[in-house]
Amino acid sequence: MARILFTDVKVFDGTGSRAFPGEVLVDGERITAVASGDERIEGDGATIVSGDGAFLIPGLVEAHAHLTWPSSVGRIFQGLQLPLEEHLLVAAYNAHVLLDHGFTSAYSAGSRGERFEVALRNEIDSGYLPGPRLRASSQETSGVAVPGVPGTHDKPHDRTIEGLRGYVARMAKQGVDTIKFELSGDESSVYGGSETLLFTEQEIAAIGDQAKESHVWLACHAQAALAIKLAVKHGFRVLYHCTLADEEALDLLEENKDRLFVAPAAGLLYARVHEAEQFGINRRAAERMGAVAGLERMQRIYPEMRRRGIRVLPGGDYGFPYTPIGRNARDLQLFVDLFGYSPSQALAAATLSGGELMGLPVGQIRDGFLADLLLVDGDPLQDLRILQDTTRLRAIMKGGQFHKAPPTLWQ
């Protein structure tokens, strides 16, 4: 595989440290050297890419991916359910779109079919389809009808204790990386739904025990404070939303911050409040769906999570008509505007913390890490909105190969 040397770049290494002028050498699929300041890397035989002062940053990680939610930038579907064959093709297209927008990794928060993302992940990993590194999920529902959560192409599973254990074991055997459960409801469809627990503690404990035995990760939709507490107690790795977290829930998240992650999906509520009127969600409807109150709660809770050192990751439930896939980078700016993050902190959440979420050597520009890199025209540490403009992404590299090559390459 090729050796590529990036020169005359400003390096943001993903850790949140100050960007520095430097060089980065890629050999095969990995980064093999990083130099700063006046240091130089021996580049004999390497293809030279001069950044002319552009920023080199790690590829972004989407922490709340829904590649089977069909809408993407420039291609809007009014519904979420498609015929099976079209749905698989649209999911493959969405993976391409996400990579086009600088996201080289994606952690799924639920699929519309049990094996959809396993098949998609395997095709991407084999090099037959373009797309981000994917942590594939099971279907999002718990196997029973949950108001407001779209159905899937699969049959509901048994809700008995043994049935839940069997479901977790079967999903692990089918090859998913993570299994998503709806531990609590949502305000968007039923008033008071966010406070409704959808599983007993005995059921959640059985899910957690089997996931540990089957070596598979667990994720959950958890709005209610009790749902958050039970998810932490029983080993869930990723908690989504968490808008009703109380002091005890925050304490538990903080105590377990080294093993778990939280993603608020700010993009979804922001869009419902400010951008969804053409899709039938005006201000009054947004209030009725709990989006206005939910956004206000997020603005109180998530700065506190940041203060406590809880790993909060960008990922905004993209794939609805009013949150099309491809708009994902806006979540980084929302972390600044709504939660008080600095641009550097928000970018580190989408790179360093994102890599930790993926459980892969990605998200940092560091010797030995996979060469997932973006060459950015402009300084995202001054204006993160640059990352929402694909024309400012001069190059997109995944695993040492250019998905989007820079305009000029020379020996």
- What CATH code is carried by the domain that includes residue 306? 3.20.20.140
Residue 95 pLDDT? 98
Same domain for 41 and 108, yes or no, is no
Same domain for 293 and 391, yes or no, is no
What CATH number has the domain bearing residue 53?
2.30.40.10
Let me know if 106 is exposed, middle or buried by CB neighbors in 10 A (0-12, 13-18, 19+).
buried
Residue 143 pLDDT? 44
C-alpha 145, offset from chain centre: 25
Same domain for 29 and 90, yes or no, is no
Same domain for 15 and 158, yes or no, is no
Between CA 63 and CA 75, with CA 69 as vertex, the angle to 5 degrees is 110
Between CA 222 and CA 208, with CA 214 as vertex, the angle to 5 degrees is 30
Residue 49 pLDDT? 96
CA nearest neighbour of 371 among 34, 20, 8, 15: 34
Same domain for 184 and 311, yes or no, is yes
Of 328, 351, 377, which marks where a domain is finished? 328
Which amino acid is located at 265 in the chain?
A: A
CB atoms within 10 A of CB 407: 6
Same domain for 169 and 222, yes or no, is yes
Asked, for residue 337, whether it belongs to a domain, the answer is no
CA nearest neighbour of 334 among 379, 388, 405: 388
Residue 196 pLDDT? 84
Same domain for 155 and 256, yes or no, is yes
CA dist 168 and 375 (Å) reads 40
Same domain for 272 and 394, yes or no, is no
Same domain for 48 and 143, yes or no, is no
Nearby residues of 313 by Cβ (< 8 Å), 6 or more positions away: 61, 63, 64, 261, 262, 263, 349, 350, 353, 354, 357
Asked, for residue 111, whether it belongs to a domain, the answer is yes
Same domain for 117 and 253, yes or no, is yes
Domain residue limits at 205: 60-328
C-alpha 356, offset from chain centre: 12
CA dihedral 355, 357, 361, 362 (to 10 degrees): -20
Residue 140 pLDDT? 76
Residue 411 pLDDT? 42
**pTM above threshold 0.85:** yes
Alpha carbon distances (Å) from 309 to 92, 163, 238, 339: 35, 37, 15, 14
Asked, for residue 347, whether it belongs to a domain, the answer is no
Of 328, 352, 371, which marks where a domain is finished? 328
Q: At what angle do helices 343-350 and 330-339 cross, to 10 degrees?
A: 130
Per-residue H/E/C for 364-387? CCCCCCECCEEEECCCCCCCHHHH
Of 313, 328, 343, which marks where a domain is finished? 328
Domain count, the chain: 2
Q: Can you tell me which residue has the tokens 């892969």? A: 360
Token pair for 411 = 């020996």
Same domain for 296 and 391, yes or no, is no
Asked, for residue 339, whether it belongs to a domain, the answer is no
* Residue ranges in the chain modelled with pLDDT below 50: 143-148, 410-411
Between CA 71 and CA 102, with CA 359 as vertex, the angle to 5 degrees is 40
Asked, for residue 346, whether it belongs to a domain, the answer is no
Q: Can you tell me which residue has the tokens 């998530």? A: 302
> Cα(first)–Cα(last) distance of the chain, in Å?
15
Asked, for residue 345, whether it belongs to a domain, the answer is no
CA dist 139 and 179 (Å) reads 8
CA dist 312 and 241 (Å) reads 10
Strand partners, 61: 105
Token pair for 215 = 């070596």
Residue 152 pLDDT? 59
63 within 8 A of 316, measured Cβ to Cβ: no
Same domain for 184 and 232, yes or no, is yes
Asked, for residue 142, whether it belongs to a domain, the answer is yes
Asked, for residue 410, whether it belongs to a domain, the answer is no
Q: Looking at the chain, how many residues does it have?
A: 411
